[in-house]
Amino acid sequence: MRLAELSNRSGVATATIKYYLREGLLPPGRQINATTAEYDETHLRRLRLVRALIQVGKVPVANAREVLKHVDDDSLGRTIRLGAALWELPQDPEPDAEDEFVRAAQQEVAALLDRLGWDNAKQLSSISPAYRSLVTGVAAFRRLGYDWGAEQLAPYAELMHRTAVLDMDNMETYPSDAERVEFAVLGAILNEPVLQALHRLAQEEESTRRYGFE
């Protein structure tokens, strides 16, 4: 397909596509002549991912470029490739290791991982942004006086593991490793807000079941 058709099918303006090409976010098309290139379905798929990263996820161009670099790096094993791509997304800052609430949260999260038998997650804790975010969240609860730790988190973690199994099952329906990693990145940007919305809807449903509309 030519640039105009790529624009029509993706809903992205031609000027924006040219910008993505210049920034290395979209691979160049097959050159037909000095002024014309041809694009295919892989460009359309990548363009949708770029659009999700930048327009929906508000990911800076530099970060988006790093995400896509890992998506395309077939020299990496599947786990590292997936993790590297996701870790390039904007993350929470490193928690203050000297903060007493952070230290207590780290102990609770370590106890949680032990309780669940999540040994692999524990091994990745020193580099995992998700681990840092969990520690930060637990520290915030404890700073406000709420006893929120391994015991309270374990049932939620088990539910999230079931969600992760569904994620991986869906991801494995895609034929190539690059497409699987793309799906995971899209899930982080698009599906996590959907899951949050479902959680809140479920709370509303359960509240009305228990208490009615009082």
Could you read off the pLDDT of 94-115 as tens digits, one per residue?
A: 888 899 999 999 999 999 999 9
- How far is 199 from 193, CA to CA, in rounded Å? 10
- Of 54, 87, 120, which marks where a domain is finished? 87
Q: How far apart are the first and last CA of the chain?
A: 58
Tell me the pTM.
Answer: 0.81
- In the chain, the number of structural domains is 2
pLDDT at residue 97, as a whole number: 86
Q: What is the CATH number of the domain that holds 8?
A: 1.10.1660.10
Residues linked to residue 31 through DSSP beta bridges, in sequence order: 37
Per the prediction, the chain carries an average pLDDT of 90
Domain that holds residue 136: 100-211
Q: Would residue 151 count as lying in a domain?
A: yes
Structure tokens at 176: 């190539």
Do the beta carbons of residue 188 and residue 86 sit within 8 Å?
A: yes
Answer yes or no: is 56 within a domain: yes
Which residue in 157, 137, 163 sits closest to 148, CA to CA?
137
The enclosing H or E element of 121 equals helix 119-123
Q: Are residues 46 and 116 in the same domain?
A: no
94 lies in some domain: no
66, 115: one domain: no
Q: What is the pLDDT of residue 85?
A: 82
Whether residue 88 has pLDDT greater than 90? no
- Please indicate, yes or no, whether residues 125 and 78 belong to a single structural domain of this protein: no
Whether residue 104 sits in one domain with residue 83: no
Residue 170 placed within a domain: yes
Query: Quick check: is 42 in a domain?
Result: yes
pLDDT digits (tens, 9 = 90+) for 15-64: 999 999 999 999 988 888 877 889 999 899 999 889 888 988 888 998 89
Same domain, yes or no, for 9 and 83? yes
Once rounded to an integer, what is the mean pLDDT over residues 129-156?
Answer: 93
Indicate the residue among 87, 111, 127 that finishes a domain: 87
**Same structural domain for residues 207 and 104?**
yes
Same domain, 52 and 115: no
Percent of the chain with pLDDT over 70: 100
Under the banding of pLDDT at 50, 70 and 90, the label for residue 77 is: confident
141 lies in the same domain as 72 = no
Q: Which residue among 31, 52, 87 closes a domain?
A: 87
